Structure 1
Amino acid sequence: MNSWSSLTHLEADRFAVIKRPVIILALLTLLIVGGTLGFRIVNETSWLESLYLAVITLTTLGCRDPATSNATMAFVVIYLGFGLGLFSYSLFSLGQSLLDPQFRQFWKQRRMINKIDSLKDHHIVCGFGRMGRTICEYLDRRNRPFVVIDLDGDVLEAHCTAHNWLYIVGDATDDVHLQNAGISRASSLASVLPSDSDNTYVVLSARMLNNGLQIVARASDEKAIQKIERAGATRVISPFSSGGMKMARFMINPSVESFVEVADKHDSDLELVDIQIKETSSLVGKKLSETKLAEQGVMILAIRRANGEQLLPPPGASILHAGDNLFAFGHANKVAMVISNCEE
């Protein structure tokens, strides 16, 4: 969105700050145009000379005496009487406006919106609490583009600016902010707001704005999980239940859980990803054994067909089709190569 209507509500509140220098520039332009017309009429000079006389008179440079007749002298007196004070005050006010922190913040947010407008297949994180920050850190480590939406502008400014993360200050339950975050072009959205009702509303709005969006939401209990799923969430996570299940798995199979966690460590070079094969992929029509992915250091754990059929583990004779999802595990650079082959 490249119009004033695309600005966030916070930017709309700052419109008065932007309107002030615009009005000042309009007044200065009006003064110069009025002076140019005046000199053109009373002095009968060319348009360029009239403009020149208006500027040097208004700025009191005194490079040339514009008075050539009584009418011109009278016009200069009136012109300076009305215009000189307004001109000096306008320049002073314009300088103040350009140095105003809100003015600079407005244009910073405006540049950020322009960057967001260029994103495609990115991720949106609604809420910048502990879970939101964890999600952002994970996406950042994987070099995945994302946009954060949160009401707390100070917190976003402090954390996101330091990491060069894109953000929008505003209420994620408002469709305007979701649209400004590029939800129509996004691939997924995470709603991790503190309130279950807010998460439900975000999921409902997001599903209406992008029916094919992958939506993951946070819920506090089983009742909330059901409501958010009905609202359109692809997956709903309860931190308490998922945390309890994870602890139980550690109790029963500690070694297995430790191995699975390797891919999630900050300094890990391993990736566990879900890759979709596109129609243009060079892998379409090949057997899994013919791709030689295992020899390249990438293990295909499972294949999910477009019709929902799952191959776990997949036989080497399995033929890959467009729309299949490969669940791959391996080193980040090797997995990235597989993703590239699946998209080309």
Structure 2
Amino acid sequence: TLTYVEPLRDIFASLFFASIGMLIDPVFLWKNLELILGLVALAFIGKFLIITPLVKLFRYPLKTALIAGFGLAQIGEFSFVLASEGQALGLVSRQIYLLILGTTAVTLVLTPFVLRLVPIVFDWLESMPWLKPYLSGEGKPLEVAEELPIKDHIVVCGYGRVGKNLVKLLQQHDLPVVVIDQSERRIQELREAGVPYVYGNCVSFYVLETAMVSQAKGMAIALPDPMSIRLCLKRALELSPDLDVVVRATSDKNIEVLYQLGAREVVQPEFEASLEMATYILNAVGFSSVVVQREMQEIRNRHYLDLRPEQSASQVSRHLRQATQDLNNRWYALPETSPLIGMTLEEADMRYLTGVSLMAIRRANGEEIDYPDASTKLEKGDRLLVVGSDEEFAALEEFAVGRAAVPGDNSACQWVIVNADCPVLGKTLADLHIREKYGVQVQSMRRDGKFIRFPNGKMELQAQDQLLLCGSLTSLNQIEQLFAPLNSQLLSVPVVKASEAEALKDYLPMDSVID
């Protein structure tokens, strides 16, 4: 029925606005231009000042409230109907009627342009340090469950149908779970079910920190909004670069974007339904279940490419631009003398060491590689489309020119935690002379939900600070003396090449070596 009705709806909507246009008197608009512009400003400002606080009152983030305020600031088209009836009943004079028509029409015309300007305004406001925390979704949790797992738990973002079923299955296997959601109704369901929760926005660093993402064993993102999914994934991996994250893709077009941002596994519900149905039918007609399962897993490993519709290079490129336009992105020209030239993306490990996500490469000959894989080599003259924060872009520039630690044959990086009883507590990084004495570089720091690339030497170390130390394996072993109480607190040692595993065994306990 909807298929038949929708074209008629579009026709009547067009007819409605065309008829409104015919009612407007251009001469009247021109003669009363100043008055109408004043009424337009009054309507925009007045409705914005009413709607924004109301949305904020319902505990939505400030950015959401502002977008709602701008988006609903125009006068609705129903006012045409009311004004017509008012004139027919003698309640509204002809002049007032024409003023209402003119003002409403102008607000409707201006609204799309205002909404296009909103992201530019937000970018400008977020450049101000004192405003950025309020606009970037970094709100504090509104409420936290009393008993929250703090280690080796699973974080589930979103408690809709998918999230609810996922939590149920995890609990059946006695796995500790923490759910993040910002819907009061769903939080009430979590309270009644006795499920640990954090009430807040999943894209907030503070909310993710409260859910102890850095200590979690895994994370599942089942949000309905593609933009929130991408931001949540990016920020969770900034807090815990080795976190095992599985993401539900809302459409097949988002699959590669999510993999490129660092998701370990991306699940597309429609494709999964097809695979499960095919598995059942193939098993029913006599195919070996082992062979069928292997084939289905190969399709998953290829990111559902066998099921996705064919797209031209221009279509893929256009979608990539659309997917990254709401993220902070830029094209970065790789310096001609960069030590990264000739390295594969797996060897460079840019996302882990700088935080940026590489989405595309444009070669010097004009060739463009969208969603490059780990085996892609960086070449002289490459321009990189990267997504990240301003701090991460600065880190990439340091990294690309060799001023930051670059993976080599005998180097690695590891995270350490500053405990309350650590002898370096209260000292500045400059006091420790880590680079001069040990040849080890402090590449990054995590503190209070913030990810700081190349921290200033004047920063004093505080309890629970996490430092990313990069250098030779021998130097990293020696520097453990500085962080003596932290021997049991090493978080991870990423091994760039498999051949380094044997070397690592000489310096670290066997259970610390990543296979």
TM range (shorter): 0.3 to 0.5
Report which of the two structures shows the higher radius of gyration computed on alpha carbons.
1
Q: TM-score, normalised by structure 1?
A: 0.42
More helix, by proportion: 1
Higher RCO (C-alpha 8 Å, min separation 6): 1
What TM-score does the superposition give when structure 2 sets the normalisation length?
A: 0.29
